[in-house]
Chains A and B, each alone.
Chain A
Amino acid sequence: MSSRALAFLVPAIVILAFWLMSRWEARQGHDPTHKSFFERNGTVLGIAFVGLVAFWTLFLVTLPYLYMVVESFHPRLPPAKRGGPEDIATIAQYTSFFVNPTDGAWNTTHMYAFVYTIVVSAAVTFINLCICYPLAYYMAQSGTTQKVRLLMLGLIVPYWVNEILRAFSIRLLLASKGLINQGLMGIGITDAPIDFLGNNTGMWVGLSYANLLIMIFPLYNAIESLDKNQIEAARDLGAPWWKIHRDVVIPYAKPGIASGCTMVFMLAAGSLAAPLFLGGPRTLWFTSIVYDFFFQAFNWPRGSAYAFILLAACIAFVMFMLRLFKVKLGEAIR
């Protein structure tokens, strides 16, 4: 039996096992007043519910991922040879990330892109935190209702615009003959246009801007529930503003900060549009490499292996940071 068939069989076995267990439990502790799911909803509606949920979890969530996992442990083969004698289980796709299969040298290009992606994503997360914390604090604690509404609108409305359109409009702003360079040259700060796109400024701006809302709302939610009297009490006891934030607001908002940072980091590391459209020509973004394996080289096994490497690294990084700042995972995903 091939390993692909096994991947499709596993969910079926799990479902069957759960169904048998529920039957067994129903027989053990039979409650005569308890109505079964089908008795409560009727047979037709019951089947429709179960069928839709099963379809969604099985075909749209579980199986594609499982298929990718299996795929990443196979060699790249033309369709005719799939399932043949050459189609063996292998970890070659994973090792190819470290060692180039063609010449046996270290695969520095991809490893560099990988580290670069993680570092930039972490930095973007930090930048977003620095931008969003004051904004969220203002919105949650000190702003008047009117101004907060206006600010909220100003933050949300740009997100109605398509992501790619947004990336290109930032590109227009930052281009050599774009508004910003024209302005800088107009007031005489520079003589020649600055290459904002070539030096990756565009990518940083794009990545930060794309994830602004994702950071601001968890922070806002956390800070908003802080009792104003606590801030005033700290102030009354003699604390200057920065100590109030250090000792009272930030410890209280820590779960919100953790949740915002986790999401922004994950999304930044997995983003495609900003690095692709706003990054410099020599910038190698790891997600772009994954994308190219799928759609340029049609090498799905290696693409999925790379995707899982990125996923594993991101999860490990997030867990490490949560441990470092003593936040429980449960608090961060609230």
Chain B
Amino acid sequence: MSAGVELDGVTVRFGNFTAVNNANLNIKGGEFFSFLGPSGCGKTTILRTVSGFLDPSAGHVRIGGQDMAGIGPNKRPTALIFQNLALFPLMSVADNITYGLRVRGLSRADRDKRATELLELIALPGQGQKLVSELSGGQKQRVAIARALAVEPQVLLLDEPLSALDLKLRQHMRNELRAIQQRVGITFIYITHDQGEALTMSDRIAVMSDGVIEQVADGKSVYDSPETAFVASFVGENNPFPGKVASASGDSAIIETPFGKLRGLNPKKLKAGDNAILFVRPESLKLGKGPDGSTFATPVLNAAFEGNMTHVFMKGAGKKNITVTVGRHGGTAIPASGENGTVHYDPALGLVLPEGKMARE
């Protein structure tokens, strides 16, 4: 069984510091939901509030419609997978997995039966008698998942569980986690600062910054239609062109930037004179001349060949360079370093957003 999780005006303060500010969310039952943000943005605080280790300073957490105020972590229908896994080193793998059942008073025979089933689920059959220290990183990971699933939680909470693994294993575990989630059908709430993990696994993502939820949407929307400058700059690579809105008409706006007047979509309905930032992704920029209003020129600094593509770094207005990603068969020759390069883009792929905080590089 799976339950939805509702955050209703949740605020968590530590002394004068506000870790989470007025979070309102409705996570549906059976959803794979991710909180994505840089470290210190409050995502772990939200997780600990849902699991019951922290009490919100204001607002309510509801799981399956029921208010969780005053209910301790040992009484909530949630299970948490810790960043360092926190497996019990003195217990065998099977004892680790069935610890939650042991404290509920299940008999040894029932526990053994359940351990066998779960070891099967995580593809470690017959390894129950091993010690945790005898397992590899990925195996420990799976034992932690089995231990949490053993108590049949309605919501599984995962606190950056893949961050300790190496790249290959991390990518493998992404698929595995997603597969397990679909098999057991319960709600997964996943915390990560790795956008790749969030984008590949999640049904929906909440992007957080400084304790505030900036945007909640599915991965494609977060990438294609970011709502704030922070989301646009944090999720994926992006080229910002700060400036002032010169004119707005219909869906699009023209913004006065150090590279001249440039055009982009205007989803936030900014008006002439507003401070704004135009965002164009590296893969949307193309070398060569296009129509006026979406063409500019700037010196090429250097180029990095990556096999299937080449990143061309060009001089930006501020400290940050402009990146243009050229495909293998782009056709256009890349100007030599120091030469002026001309760049254009499709105005439907430029996005004018209100000026705001940007993600740190």
Q: Which residues in A have some Cβ–Cβ distance to B below 8 Å?
A: 227, 229-230, 232-240, 243, 247-248, 251-252
Contact = CB atoms under 8 A, between A and B. Distances in A.
Interface in B241-293: none
A230 B53 CA distance: 13
B84 A238 contact: no
A239 B83 CA distance: 20
Nearest to A247: B99
Interface size class of B (residues with CB under 8 A): 20 to 34
Contact of B73 (A229, A236, A243, A251): A236
B333 interface: no
B78 A237 contact: no
Nearest to A252: B90
A232 B88 contact: no
Contact of B99 (A227, A234, A240): A234
A236 B104 CA distance: 12
B86 interface: yes
A237 B84 contact: no
B128 interface: no
A230 B84 CA distance: 10
12 contacts: A227-B84, A229-B83, A233-B86, A234-B88, A234-B103, A236-B80, A237-B74, A237-B103, A243-B103, A247-B103, A248-B88, A252-B90
B312 interface: no
A236 B103 contact: no
A237 B82 CA distance: 12
A227 B100 CA distance: 18
Given A232-B53, A232-B73, A247-B99, A237 B151 contact: yes
Contacts of A232: 53, 73, 80, 82, 86
Given A243-B103, A247-B99, A236 B88 contact: no
Determine the main DSSP class of A at the interface with B. helix
A247 to B, nearest CB: 7
Contacts of A247: 88, 99, 102-103
B353 interface: no
A233 B53 CA distance: 11
A231 to B, nearest CB: 9
Contacts of B352: none
Contacts of A238: 74-75, 100, 103-104, 151
Nearest to A251: B90
Contacts of B84: 227, 229
B86 A235 contact: no
B301 to A, nearest CB: 45
Sorted nearest first, the 10 A-B pairs with minimum C-beta distance are A237-B100, A229-B86, A233-B86, A239-B103, A229-B82, A236-B80, A238-B74, A236-B73, A230-B86, A251-B90
Contacts of A227: 84, 86
A240 B82 contact: no
Given A229-B82, A229-B84, A243-B103, A236 B51 contact: yes
B79 interface: yes
B147 interface: yes
Interface string B73-112: 1110011101110111110000000011011100000000
Contacts of B82: 229, 232-233
Nearest to B100: A237
A239 B79 CA distance: 12
Given A238-B100, A239-B74, A240-B74, A233 B90 contact: no
A229 B82 CA distance: 7
Interface string B121-158: 00000000000000000000000000110010000000
B73 A235 contact: yes
Nearest to A230: B86
B327 interface: no
Contacts of B78: 236
A295 B75 CA distance: 65
Nearest to B99: A237
Interface in B32-89: 51-53, 72-75, 78-80, 82-84, 86-89
Nearest to B104: A238
Contacts of B75: 238
Given A238-B103, A238-B104, A230 B88 contact: yes
Contacts of A248: 88
Given A238-B74, A240-B74, A248-B88, A233 B80 contact: yes
Contacts of A235: 53, 72-74
Contacts of A240: 74, 103
Nearest to A237: B100
